[in-house]
Structures are given as structure tokens and as C-alpha cells.
Structure 1
Amino acid sequence: MEQTVMEMFTQAVVKFNAVLWGAPMLVLIVGISVYFTWKLKFIQKHLLQAISLSLKKSNAAGAVSSFGALVIALAAMVGTGNIVGVAAAVSTGGPGALFWMMLSAFFAMATKYAESVLAVKYREKNEAGEYVGGPMYVLKKGLQMKKTAAVFAIATALMGFADALIQTNSLVAIYDSVFKAPSFITTLILIGLTGAVILGGVRKIAAFCKWLVPVMAVVYIVSCVAVIITHVDKLPWAIACIFKSAFSGTAVLGGAIGITLKEAVRYGVARGVLSNEAGSGSGAIAAAAAQTPNPVRQGLISATTVFWDTLVICLLSGVAVVIAGDWSAGSLFGAQLAENAFSTLPGGSVLLLISLSLFAFSTLVGWSYYTAKSVQFCLGVNVEKPVYWLWLAVMCVGGFLSPKLVWELADTAIAVMCIPNILSLWLLRKEVFEETKTYLALELQAARSAAQD
């Protein structure tokens, strides 16, 4: 009877999320991105200068360097969803989903910029002397909406703990499938490694992410490029397939699964949103800790996370799956489709396993920081260490749970985060424009100087 009740609850959450993540939510998230892109005169055109600024050191106030804040945000963003989630988008929405994913990500860079500008503008020093911020502080200080700020913080914390369950469960399942490793052994090793990083606080987390994020990105990017090169004769076909099915579904291409245009748009946009988190405001929590002389510099740097996460890593994942995976058969989904594509490369399955492991671990480290800062907002500075210990305890459970309900609850939490965050972006949009007008020219000049040095 208990199992039946749990199944009924899971199905109820699934139905609720289908409504929550329906067209209105996607239109809201994409709409705010298009709005800021237009009003900021295509802030995306400064991408190269923003990348240059991310490498420039600053003696300004902050808990970690701008690059440190960047890699914490990337660590949290770049997870198993960049591999498995993209493959799922292709298997459910067809190759055309990639086009819509990339298009929505391009506009999402403007949202990331705006979130981070407000996070730095309204950040504050906590009792420990650290700079903290994010949408909860924007809501509290910028709009005097303390209850809404608490809702955002609670939703972020719930999302974080759900993520601890998801990533642990995913790695346990992977190592059980490949090596028949006992669940408790994998879980204990993962807890030990995670604890060694996160219990050192934000500076230890940033220092760890500074080497982890580039290493895991290079390993995976090289792997994807190798898969594409192996099937380079099919590359023109794959590109044509992505663009044609973006506007017509797969019917005209002879696809066996008959995906419609509506499905291509839906799954492409939704996967892009869930991957780069633009609109949820989570990345702004890391941005607020950065050593930055003004909000605009960190806004520009934060916008690059969408570029690296979606326009590079997700795009390469998708092209590799389209060019080498058996997506049109309709019999493979998510992880199976990704493995099917990478298995065409000698040693590809091992590289995929390494990438999944690194991606899941980085997400655990990044989201532990977001969770701690969210709980800290509600309960005070002294709860940070207890939250990290609780995080490790939750991971113990993750290796033995069915992930279905946890994934669904995580989707609910992200949606709850998006609504108050987008509200604050809209109500404080003039603040973003004023900060941009004041500092953008100055930062672009700094970027040019950094590039010349």
C-alpha cells in the first residue's frame, strides 16, 4: 500500500510539473531573455571581452576572484544533464531541438548578465565578513519583499538537497552497471571526496573548481570532437538535419519517430533552460561573492557561463548524438543514446564514464555552496558548516533511492525559483540599465587593455 501511495504521489508531481513547465513558463523565461537582449543592445556581442575580463585579476572587495566565482557557477551548471539531458532532448524532440536550445541559450546570456548585475549591486557582508548575495538579497533589499525572498531561498535549498540525491544516485547506478561496484562503497568514496572539498568553505570550493572545471571540460570537448571527426563524412547531413527539423519536425527527413515542430521547440527550449539555469537565479549566488569593482564586470563574466555550458558543451553533445547515435530508431533514450554514440569511438565508453563522473561531482560541489548560502539567508551565518554536514548525510541516502521522484521534485523547485527571480528582474530592470550605462564602456576598455597585456 505504501508503494502505491508513493507511486500516486510521484504521478501527481509529474502532472503538476507538466503544467508548471508548460508553454507559459517557457514563454516567461525566453521572453525576459529576449527583452533584456533588446534593451541592452545585444549585450552578447561583448562575449570575447567578457572572456578576457574573466581572466583579469582584481583587488576589489569580494570572497573569491571573478574567475573563482565563474568556475563555481560552471561547476554547478555543467552536470550529467549536459550529456544525458541533451541526448534525451534529441531522442524526444529530434535534432531540431538542438537549434532551439542554442537559440534560447543565446538570448539567455542577457538574463545571466542581468541576474548577476543585480546580485552584485545588492550583495552584503555577512557576520563572517564574506560577501553574499543572489536573488533572495535582491528581493529583500531591492524590493523589500522579504517573504518572497525566503520562498526563493527555501526553493533553492530544496533544489540543492534534491541535487545531492540525484547526482549520488546517478553515479552509484553508473558504477554498478559498469563495474558491479557495491552501492555503499561508491557512496562512501563520493562522500569522502565531496566532504574534503566543501568543508573548507567557499575559498576551498573555488580553488578546487579552478582546476576541476577546465579539466573536465577539455576531456569531454575532446571526446565529442573525436566522435564527430570519426563520422565527419556525415557532418553536412547532420547540420542540415538539425536546421530542417527545427522548423518542420522529422517527418520530411524520413524520421521513424515522427517528431513535430512543437516537440522540437518544447524540448529544445526546456533543456536549454534546465541546463544553463538562466532565469532560476542560482548562478547569481556565486557571482555575488566575486572580487569585482562594479556589478557590470561580473555580469559580463557570468554571461559567459551560458556560452560555455550550452553553446559549447551541450552543442557538441547534441551534434555527437545526431551524427553517431541511433536517435531516429526511437528505441534509445538519454544515457542509452549517449552511450550508443560514444561507443562508436575506440575507448569512447570509458571517456563517457569519466565525463559523467566528473560532471556529477562538480555539480555536487557547486550546488552545495548554493544550498549553504540559501539556508544561511534564512537561519544565519552559523549554519554553513552544519548544512555541509547535512549535505553529506543526504548523499548517503541518494545511493539507495529511485531517482524518479527526486528528479521531479527538483524540476518543481527550479520552477519555484524562476518565478520570483524573473519578477525581480522585471521590477528592477531600470537598475540593470543604469548600471550598464554607467560602467559598460569602462569595462570594455579594461577588457581591451587586458587583451593587449
Structure 2
Amino acid sequence: MDLISIIESINEILWGPIMLMLLLGTGVLFTVKLRFIQLRRLKDTVKETFRKNEGIEADEQGMSSFQALATAIAAQVGTGNLAGVATAIGAGGPGAVFWMWISGVFGMGTIFAEAVISQVHTEKVGSQVTGGPAYYIKNGLGSKALAAFFAVAIVLALGFMGNMVQSNSISEAMYTAFEIPPIATGLVIAILVGLIVIGGMKRIAHFTSRVVPVMAVFYLLGALVIMITHYQEIIPSIQLIFHSAFNPTAATGGVVGVTVREVFRYGIARGLFSNEAGMGSTPHAHAVAKVKHPAQQGLVGIFGVLFDTGIVCTMTALVIIVTGSYTTDLIGIELTQHGFYEGFGTFGGAFIAVSMFFFALSTIISWYFFAEANIRYLFSTRYLKIFQALVLVFVVVGTTLEVDVVWELADMFNGLMIIPNLIALLGMVSLVVKILNDYENNYEKNQPSEYEKSYE
């Protein structure tokens, strides 16, 4: 048995029904314990997300709430929104989109918990404040071994393997659309990434808060144009999503014969992989947000999942369905490309290439930031420069390789890092509830609050 077969076998276990049910079950548990906060506090979620952050500057002590959200969304909104959604539809039919929405709804409960716990457990490493699962596993759960295991897994999953996959996705899209040599694309990406990460948290925050809104508007406007030109298909497409979620034979084309179980599996898996709820990645951004109460950033975290799964993934799915592309035998990014080709003609290839460039570049920046927090956890500041250099090398190398093995390795380490994160979340359910109660019963009523913070 070759290496890739061994890794694939491990991933089938890691990403099998048990893991999916643990991720979804954690979301259900927090949703119930927090009294469906993602629904009853939806208005406050939007209010907190777009609250003015006057006088709050990004520095080594943290960044504004919106900058933290932009950094998190940069990681969430990436190739998974282009390729992951298409994979779910190609393998499970249009009904998979319904289950993707379900994963998003419950994932909001999980992301709230991750954000508030990461806010409570931060540390100053060198001159910079940092946080994330390694820190709340060590300090909140009391397990240095699990914390170290998580830190190593995420450095490998995101810092190295994941970023190779991202740069490879960019180089393939640029070569297909513009015939730009992959190595040239890789060098440009490495230079851009190097210029940004060398400026530390402040420059990363400025980059994500400016680029993420622009790239999101660009992509969503493109999808909206296709929605307008295919407006007659919108209602039938939404009906098809709901109907085929429970009756997969309603779908036609390449997905004939799939079962409800498969539709559920692909929708849940791709949804969770896209919004990253429970994976332990985005808490690194939410940890350093300068908010007065941890629950405020929890609400902002909810918006991240809403935007990723509820808006971006939904628009990608509708492009694929309204154009009829889902009836082809294509899967992955090729299916998304087909949808935009159908909508825009030959311009569709360039549109996807540009979207992929910004999606993947912003993801590389955020994943670097997340991985760096764990390098700081493992080694303090001793090897940061070496780590930066290695990341840039991996980014370039990733554009020149067949990355099947790298994809599988990234999936494997992603799966491994989820385990300690979920253990920590489930072990601190009462803390999350306590923080929310303090926010609603004390902070919001201008009463003395146990968790209120000051950044003066």
C-alpha cells in the first residue's frame, strides 16, 4: 500500500460519521445550552459586527473586532467556498446544500463558544498578545500534552500543508485562465505574503480588513449577475434544494442513485469544513479582538459563519444549480468553473481565477497568522523568522507539485487538531454559559461584570 492510500484510509476514519456527528453534536449542544443564541440574538450579531471601532488600532496588544472578524473570514472564505460547495453538490446533489445550511446554523453555536473561550485565555508571548485553542486547552482544560498536540497539528495542517494547497489552487487557476507559469505565480504569492507577515499583527489586520470586503463584494456581485440573468430558475432551484435533501432521486444527472445518508454526509462535511466551526482555527483571530466583553466577539464570530455558509456558499451553490451545471459529471472546482462559464461565457474563467487568487491569498495570510500563534506557544519567539521563511518556501513549492498527497495530509492534520479542540470545548460548556449569562445579566444592564475588559 502506497503512502497516499495509507493517508486516505486514515482520513476515511478521521472524517467518518463519528467525527461529523461529534462536530454537529457539539454545535447542537451549545445551541441548546446558549438558548439558540444565533437566532434570538441575530439582530445583536449584526449590530456588534458593524459597530464602530473608533480609536481602536491594531498593534501588538490586538486588533479591532472587525479586523479580527475579517481575519477569521479570510480563512473561512477560501477555496472551500468554490471547490467545497461544488464537491458537496457533485457528490450528493442539490439537497446537500440544505444540510450545509443546517451545519452552518449549529456551527454558529460552536463558533460562539470558541470565540468567547479564546478571549478569556490569552497570553503575552514576547511583546505580542496571542491566543487560541492551545492556550485555552492548557489553561482552561489543564492539559499541556493536548495543547502541544493541537499546536503541532495546526502548524502542519495550515502553516505548511494547507498553504501549499492554497498556492497550488491559485497557480492552477492563473495558468488555466492566463497561461501564467506556476513558478512565477508562486514567487509573486511568496513576495506578497512575505511583505504582509513581516509587518506582524498590525499589517495582517490592515490587509484582511481591506481585502476581504473587496474580494467578497467582487465575488458576490459576479454571482448576483448570474442570478439576475437566470432569475426564472431561482425559485425552482431553491425548491429543488429542499426537495432533494430528503428525496435525492429528484436530482438528475451525475448524482442519480445517491441516498439521503450520502446527501446528509456531503452537506454536513463540506459545510463544517468551509465555515471551520469546531476546527480550532478562527479562535486565534477572535482571541486578540479588542472588545469590552468576550460575548461581544462571540456574537461577531456567529456573523462569520452566517456570511461564509449562509451567503457565500449559498451563492456558489445557486450559480451551479440555476445554470444547470449540477447535471454534469463534473465535481470540485471544475463544477464551479462550469457554472460561471455558463453564466459569463469565456469571461467566467478569468472571473474564477481572480476570485481564487484573492480567496486563497487571504487564506494563506490568515492561516500563517493562526500557525504563528502556535509556533509562539511551542517555542516562544525563538524560531519565528525561520518559520516565516519556511512558509514562503512551502508556498512556492506548492505551486509546482501534484498536491494529491498534500491535500490528504492537510485533511489528516485538520482532523487531528479537531479532536483536542472539541475535548476542550465540551469540557468548558459551563464556562461559556457563565460568560453569556454575565453578558446578558450584568454587562448589558451596566451592572458590575466579571468578564469586562479594558484596553486603555
Contact 2:132 2:373 in 1 (8 A): no
Show the counterpart of 1:29.
Answer: 23
C-alpha deviation, 1:163, in angstroms? 1.4
Correspondence for 1:138 among 120, 136, 139? 136
C-alpha deviation, 1:182, in angstroms? 1.6
Q: Which amino acid in structure 2 is aligned with residue 41 of structure 1?
A: R
1-side partners of 2:187 and 2:445: how far apart? Answer: 49
Show the counterpart of 1:209.
Answer: 208
Establish whether residue 245 from structure 1 lines up as the match of residue 244 from structure 2: yes
Show the counterpart of 2:453.
Answer: none
Give the TM-score taking structure 2 as reference length: 0.92
Contact 2:103 2:271 in 1 (8 A): yes
SS at match of 2:156: helix
SS at match of 2:102: helix
Establish whether residue 178 from structure 1 lines up as the match of residue 153 from structure 2: no
CA spacing shift, 1:205–1:406, aligned 2, 3 Å? same
Q: Which amino acid in structure 1 is aligned with residue 384 of structure 2?
A: E
Moved more, 176-185 or 88-97: 176-185
C-alpha deviation, 1:255, in angstroms? 4.5
Moved more, 399-408 or 28-37: 399-408
2-side partners of 1:80 and 1:385: how far apart? Answer: 28
CA spacing shift, 1:216–1:242, aligned 2, 3 Å? same
Show the counterpart of 1:308.
Answer: 307
Show the counterpart of 2:45.
Answer: 50
Aligned positions of 1:52-451 closer than 5 A: 52-56=47-51, 57=53, 62-128=61-127, 130-160=128-158, 161-249=160-248, 251-258=249-256, 259-329=258-328, 331-346=329-344, 347-441=347-441
Q: Which amino acid in structure 2 is aligned with residue 107 of structure 1?
A: F
SS at match of 1:382: coil
C-alpha deviation, 1:301, in angstroms? 1.0
C-alpha deviation, 1:168, in angstroms? 1.0
2-side partners of 1:270 and 1:37: how far apart? Answer: 19
Q: Which amino acid in structure 1 is aligned with residue 43 of structure 2?
A: L
Contact 1:58 1:292 in 2 (8 A): no
2-side partners of 1:256 and 1:366: how far apart? Answer: 35
Q: Which amino acid in structure 2 is aligned with residue 146 of structure 1?
A: K
Q: Show structure 2 runs of 5+ residues with no match.
A: 447-456
C-alpha deviation, 1:58, in angstroms? 6.9
1-side partners of 2:409 and 2:441: how far apart? Answer: 43
Contact 1:228 1:320 in 2 (8 A): yes
C-alpha deviation, 1:443, in angstroms? 6.1
SS at match of 2:382: helix
Give the TM-score taking structure 1 as reference length: 0.93
Show the counterpart of 1:449.
Answer: none
C-alpha deviation, 1:110, in angstroms? 0.7
C-alpha deviation, 1:256, in angstroms? 5.0
2-side partners of 1:334 and 1:120: how far apart? Answer: 36
Deviations 1:198-235 (A, max 9, x none): 11111100001111000000011111111121111111
C-alpha deviation, 1:132, in angstroms? 1.1
Contact 2:88 2:270 in 1 (8 A): yes
C-alpha deviation, 1:445, in angstroms? 7.0
Contact 1:54 1:66 in 2 (8 A): yes
Deviations 1:272-301 (A, max 9, x none): 111011011111011111111121111111
CA spacing shift, 1:54–1:383, aligned 2, 3 Å? farther
CA spacing shift, 1:366–1:235, aligned 2, 3 Å? same
Q: Which amino acid in structure 2 is aligned with residue 421 of structure 1?
A: N
C-alpha deviation, 1:350, in angstroms? 2.3
Contact 1:135 1:152 in 2 (8 A): yes
Moved more, 29-38 or 334-343: 334-343
SS at match of 1:292: coil
C-alpha deviation, 1:386, in angstroms? 2.7
Question: What is the percentage of aligned positions where both structures have the same residue?
Answer: 35
Correspondence for 2:3 among 6, 9, 12? 9
2-side partners of 1:235 and 1:67: how far apart? Answer: 32
C-alpha deviation, 1:32, in angstroms? 0.6
1-side partners of 2:113 and 2:146: how far apart? Answer: 19
Q: Which amino acid in structure 1 is aligned with residue 147 of structure 2?
A: A
C-alpha deviation, 1:166, in angstroms? 0.3
C-alpha deviation, 1:123, in angstroms? 1.1
Contact 2:115 2:294 in 1 (8 A): yes
SS at match of 1:282: coil
Q: Which amino acid in structure 1 is aligned with residue 176 of structure 2?
A: S
Contact 2:92 2:255 in 1 (8 A): no
Contact 1:100 1:268 in 2 (8 A): yes
C-alpha deviation, 1:76, in angstroms? 1.3
Contact 1:325 1:340 in 2 (8 A): no
Contact 1:49 1:444 in 2 (8 A): no
Show the counterpart of 1:450.
Answer: none
Question: Structure 1 segments of 4 or more deviating over 6 A?
Answer: 58-61
2-side partners of 1:303 and 1:440: how far apart? Answer: 17
SS at match of 2:290: coil
Moved more, 394-403 or 342-351: 342-351
Moved more, 299-308 or 435-444: 435-444
2-side partners of 1:78 and 1:137: how far apart? Answer: 25
2-side partners of 1:445 and 1:408: how far apart? Answer: 49
SS at match of 1:64: coil
Moved more, 113-122 or 56-65: 56-65
Moved more, 296-305 or 24-33: 296-305
Show the counterpart of 2:454.
Answer: none
Contact 1:114 1:432 in 2 (8 A): yes
